[in-house]
Each structure stands twice: as C-alpha cells, then as structure tokens.
Amino acid sequence: MTTEPAVADDAFAPLRALADAILYEGYLLYPYRRSSAKNRVRWQFGVLTPRAWTRARGPDDTGVAGSAEAWWQRTECLVRPREGTPDGPVEVAGVVRFLQLQRKTVEVLRDGRWHQAESLEAGDRHELPFDEAVPHEFGFRARLGAARSLEFTARGGREVEDVADASGRVVGRVVRERLPVTVAVRVDGEAVGESPRLYRLGVRVENTAEDVDPMEPRDAVLRVSPLACHLLLAVSEGSFVSMLDPPEWAEAAVRGCANVHVFPVLASDDGTLVLASPILLYDNPRVAPESPGDLHDSGEIDEILSLRTLTLTEAEKREARATDARAAAILDRVETMPPEVFERLHGAVRSLAPADPADASVVVAGVRLSAGSRVRLRPRKHGTDPQDRFLEGRTARVEKVLADMDDATHLAVTVEDDPAAELDRWYGRFRYFAPDEVEPCESAEPREPGDGG
C-alpha cells in the first residue's frame, strides 16, 4: 500500500485490519469468478465519481449512505481537548484511503503482433481480463480552528508482464493500466459553544477529475474515481465524542454535525481514533478474531463462504484463479485450512419461533402488544444494528411476536411510512426489536382493583 506522504508515527496500526475489510468489501464476491453475474457490477461503497458525470444523473445526494454515488463526502465529528491542555490549536492526524482501479488485459502474440484476447493460456498459467485495484493512502495533519486544503494524486501507470510457454517462448502478455486519480481534501475545525471545550472537525474529500464526458459509461469513469473511499482520524491531545452515544452535554453539538456518504465511529477504547466509513458500523468495531482472512464479503459468514468455496469444481477454481490474484489467495487459504480453524468458524444457530403460540403477545409498559399493534421505535444505543439507529422515533406495526432459543422475545415489525412496507409484509422481510426498544402508541388499559394482570 502506498502512503504519500507517510504518516510519521502510525497511530492507525490498530485500525488497519478493520479498515482493509472496508477497503475490499465487495471487491470480489463468491464464487470469485469473472463470469459470475455478481462480479460484473462491482464497487458499491464509497465511490466518488467525477462531479460533471454525477450531476448529469441527478442532484447531489446528501444522505449518509455510502452506497450512493457522489463526487464528494464529508465527515463531521467532535473533539474534546484533554483536560489541562492549554488553550490553543489541537493537532489532528488523518489518512484518506481508497482503491484505484487497475485494468488488466491479456494479449497473445500472433504473426509478430500483439492482439487483445479473452483469455491467455500457457502451460499451467491461465489469465483472464479483469478490473483489479491498487490501494492508496495519503496522510495529513491539521490543527483545529484552522482550515487546510490539500490535494493528493494516485499516479497512473502501465506494467507489462510477458508470459512464456513450457519451452520458454513468449506467447502472450498481461498488461495492467491505471489512470491518475486525484482527490482534494479540505480540513476545517471550529470551537462549539459548549461546556466543556469542544471542537467540530470537518473533513471533505472530493474527486477533482475534470474533462469527463457526462455520457461516459460507469465502467469508464470508475477508472478516474476513488473507490471504497474512507477516512481515519487520530488525536493525541484529546478524544473524540461518540456520534452514536454522546454524553448529554454534547447531544446538541452532535445533532449539529452533518455527515454525507460516510459516518464516523469511535475506533479505540480511549476515544483517540475514529473511522469514517461508507458502511454503517457500531462504535469500536472489530474484525472477528475467528476469521482467518478476508473473503471480501462481510455480509456473509466465513464458515459458509469457506465451505461453499470448497464445493467449486476444478474448472470453476481454475477460472477464479485466472480472474484475480486475491481470488487465488482465497482458494489457497480455504483449501489448506486446518480442521481446528474450521471449527473456530462454527457458531451457534439461532432460530425464532412464536413467543407464545396461544396468543403471541408481550406486555410493554402495561400494554399488551401483538400482531397489528402500533409502536414507536427506540433502538438501543449499543448492541443493535447501527442502521436501526436511523429509525429512532419512527412508528411501526408489529407483525409477529417471536422468541429465540434463549427465550428472549423479539418484535418483528414493518415501518409505517416505508413505501416498501406492504412488499416486506408480503414476503416476510421484517425488522426486529426487543420489547425494551419500543414504546406502545396506545395507552395502557386501566386495571380493575385487585387485578394483578
């Protein structure tokens, strides 16, 4: 991974495994073959396309979702200087990270001339054209209270690798080409009128590509776009404030922060590190210690993906190896995985069943909730899906009351103002909340004297 310029002291070392999982999420999907339909539409998170091309497809999207393509993203978070730190600028270190698309083509030598081909075979070597990616990161430092603008370029390039047959005769070559990708970074910070001292830190990252035809196909503009773009931040003279679970004195300041296409979460126990990710995460996310390596598909389970990979035919494995070096590495790792590592991947299977088949209901705040009841959603600040936090205060309809194997109760609901609610209800796609994460919309019925129920 290139670093231009390098961060002097790598405060971000504890974050690299997690940040790499973000960087390569969706890079390849099982079955890891070029011919797979899933691997024909790639790069789904943190893609910053050129401004003219993006705007030709509609107005700027300013939501938090990193799956929406835009030409810029902005991170805003809060920094509290360490108690006893003298008044004055607090320094923040940052790293912008992204992938640069690298187009791999194969050529065969015929009649003394090179011709592009759909495949190249020479002995045991098999190569297919594919879009690879080169990781980059650019470090910077800034002081709160002072704006700073920077520009970083991932340079273009072209490499050619000759491929010979068993006799040593060159019969083909693999060509890898990259176009320059340039991003502008603007860092700003200002004091917030709160007590104790508090600063709002903002980092905006833009794709500065110009002279791009707005009618170009997506595959073409991805070559000049940062992919899976995200941000790491560190402060040594203070700590960041949780944007998901802020202390009461900082709640108003958190509401005043606007994050676009990324969301910052605490990434260290002491609050000195933040990861601003295009994929929504909890505070202090971690890569599962049982995971033996990246499978580029964090929405799946390592055990299932590994077992499925072992079921590929030899022809499918050969195609996957020819597709991409990272696919070949996955196959090698899975095929040589010791049994004890597989055992660590196995987890408990949880299933949901009606909480009480007789009446399938639960009492919350004195109100009995069952299918058809209306509730207001109050998701927990910890231990829940981070996307549920964006449903805070919304009303929903209870579809089912369920219990898991540990006898914990769950409410399956559909959100009332969701345009897809009817469709979700039809094929049983619900959101799940614990009873203490909802408020009944109806009042409790008055109880008769002596009624214990």
What phi, psi does 316 have (nearest 5°)?
Answer: -65, -40
> Domain check: are 364 and 223 in the same one?
no
Q: Give the model confidence (pLDDT) of 256-292 as tens digits.
A: 999 999 999 999 999 999 999 999 898 998 887 778 7
The average pLDDT across 39-49 equals 91
Interstrand relation of 2-3 and 130-143 (parallel, antiparallel or unpaired): parallel
> Domain check: are 102 and 243 in the same one?
yes
- Record the tokens describing residue 231, joined without a space: 């941000």
> Domain check: are 27 and 159 in the same one?
yes
> Domain check: are 266 and 380 in the same one?
no
- Can you give the pLDDT at residue 124? 87
Question: What is the domain count for the chain?
Answer: 2
> Domain check: are 363 and 272 in the same one?
no
Instruction: State whether the Cα torsion 10-46-423-443 is positive or negative.
Output: positive
Whether 108 is covered by a domain: the verdict is: yes
> Domain check: are 228 and 364 in the same one?
no
Which among 141, 235, 136, 144 is positioned nearest to 183, based on CA atoms? 136
Whether 214 is covered by a domain: the verdict is: yes
The average pLDDT across 185-198 equals 83
- Can you give the pLDDT at residue 45? 92
**How far is it, in rounded angstroms, from Cα 267 to Cα 243?**
12
> Domain check: are 31 and 167 in the same one?
yes
DSSP state of 68: S
Whether 335 is covered by a domain: the verdict is: no
Whether 24 is covered by a domain: the verdict is: yes
- Can you give the pLDDT at residue 305? 85
Q: Which residue has the tokens 């002097």?
A: 8
Domain boundary among 237, 253, 277: 277
Domain boundary among 250, 277, 304: 277
Domain boundary among 218, 247, 277: 277
Whole-number average pLDDT of the chain: 87
> Domain check: are 260 and 397 in the same one?
no
Whether 293 is covered by a domain: the verdict is: no
Residues linked to residue 148 through DSSP beta bridges, in sequence order: 187
pLDDT of 155 strictly over 50: yes
Distant-in-sequence contacts of 115-123, Cβ < 8 A, 24+ apart: 117/172, 119/322, 120/163, 120/171, 120/172, 120/173, 120/174, 122/163, 122/164, 122/165, 122/166, 122/171, 122/172, 123/165, 123/166
Is-contact 283 245, C-beta < 8 A? yes
Number of Cβ within 10 Å of residue 349's Cβ equals: 6
Q: Is the peptide bond before 31 cis (omega within 30 degrees of 0)?
A: yes
Residues linked to residue 187 through DSSP beta bridges, in sequence order: 148, 203
Residues of the chain above pLDDT 70, percent: 89
Kindly give, in sequence order, each residue whose CB lies less than 8 Å from that of residue 13, ignoring residues fewer than 6 positions away: none
- Can you give the pLDDT at residue 453? 40
> Domain check: are 252 and 364 in the same one?
no
Which among 161, 31, 186 is positioned nearest to 106, based on CA atoms? 161
The average pLDDT across 138-162 equals 94
The average pLDDT across 176-189 equals 96
Domain enclosing residue 71, as ranges: 2-277
Which of 10-14, 194-198, 244-248, 413-417 shows the lowest mean pLDDT across its residues? 194-198
Is-contact 432 411, C-beta < 8 A? yes
Is-contact 401 356, C-beta < 8 A? yes
Whether 195 is covered by a domain: the verdict is: yes
Q: Which residue has the tokens 């964090």?
A: 298
- Can you give the pLDDT at residue 356? 57
Residue 296 binned pLDDT confidence (cut-offs 50, 70, 90): confident
Buried b (16+ CB within 10 A) or exposed e, 162-190: ebeeeeeeebbbbbeebbebbbebbbbbe
Which among 335, 276, 279, 285 is positioned nearest to 310, based on CA atoms? 335
Whether 64 is covered by a domain: the verdict is: yes
Number of Cβ within 10 Å of residue 311's Cβ equals: 8
- Can you give the pLDDT at residue 11? 86
Whether 291 is covered by a domain: the verdict is: no
Provide the CATH number for the domain around residue 362.
2.30.30
